[in-house]
Amino acid sequence: MPETKFRSFRVEAVVLRHNDYGEADRLLTLYTRQLGKTRVLAKGARKIASRKAGHIEPFTHVKLQLARGRDMLLITQADTVDAYLPLREDLILISQASYVLELLDRFTYEDESENPSTFRLLTDTLARLASNNDPWLVIRYYEMRLLDFLGFRPQLIKCVNCGRDIKAEDQFFSFSAGGVICPRCGQGLPNLHDISVDALKYLRHFQRSSYTDATKARSNPEVQKETETLMQGYFTHLLERELKTPGFLKKIKE
C-alpha cells in the first residue's frame, strides 16, 4: 500500500487479541482493511490514565493512527468506530464473537496485504451478532464466505472424485479432498463423513447467496448440529489442530 511508505499513516482495524508487553504496554493483533493481519504496540495502554485503553479491546472496530517504530508499528491515536456493546453483555455472544475472531486469526498471517472483502465480512459478522440475528445462520454464512476469500472453497456442486453433478440425495464429504463425494464413489473409500441432502442444501445456499438471501433459510436443530459438526471437522483438518472456542461454547450452552 502506498500510504504505508510514510512514517505515520491511518488504518481501519478490528482488534483480534492483545497481550501485556513490558511494564505498561499492550501488544495487539489486528485485522486491518489496509494491511490484513498485523501486530502493533500500544505504549502505556495499561496505565489507568491511558486514553487508548478503551478503544483497543477485542471485538472493537477502530480507526488508528500508526507510526513506524524501530521494531514494530506504534499506535499514536485510537478512535472507536463500533464497540459492538451487546457482544460484551452475554457470555454466549462473547464466545460466538470470539470464535469469529479465532477463525480469522488462525487462517491468516501477517503479510501487510490489503483485503477489504475479508475485513468487511468480519465487521458485518460482528454487527450481525450484536444485532440479535440468528447466530447459527450468521456464523455458518461467515464460515462459507471466509473459506471463499481465503482460497479454501469446498466443492459442493460436483463430486470431487468423478466430477459428476451431485444429485438431491445424501452424500459423503471428504475433508482431504475438500468437497462432496457421491454415493457411488464413496463406497469403500476411507475417512469420509456423511452429509445429508438438507445439510448440503444449506451449505450450498450460504456459499452462493448474499446475506439477505441467506437469511431466508430455515433449518431444524438436527441440520444445524450436522452442519456445525461438519464445518468444525473441516476446519480442524485444514488447520491441523482444533479451535479453542467451539469447545468452550459447547460447555456454556450445556
Q: What is the pLDDT of residues 30-82, one digit of tens each?
A: 999 999 999 999 888 778 656 776 788 899 999 999 998 888 899 999 999 99
What CATH superfamily is the domain 133-253?
A: Recombination protein O, C-terminal domain (1.20.1440.120)
Render 102-121 in DSSP notation, one character per residue.
Answer: HHHHHH--B-----HHHHHH
User: Domain residue spans in the chain?
Assistant: 2-85, 133-253
pTM, entire model: 0.92
Give the pLDDT confidence score for residue 3 in this predicted structure. 47
* More reliable by pLDDT, 132 or 128: 128
Q: What angle do CA 100, 103, 104 make, to 5 degrees?
A: 90
What CATH superfamily is the domain 2-85?
A: Nucleic acid-binding proteins (2.40.50.140)
d(CA 32, CA 10): 10
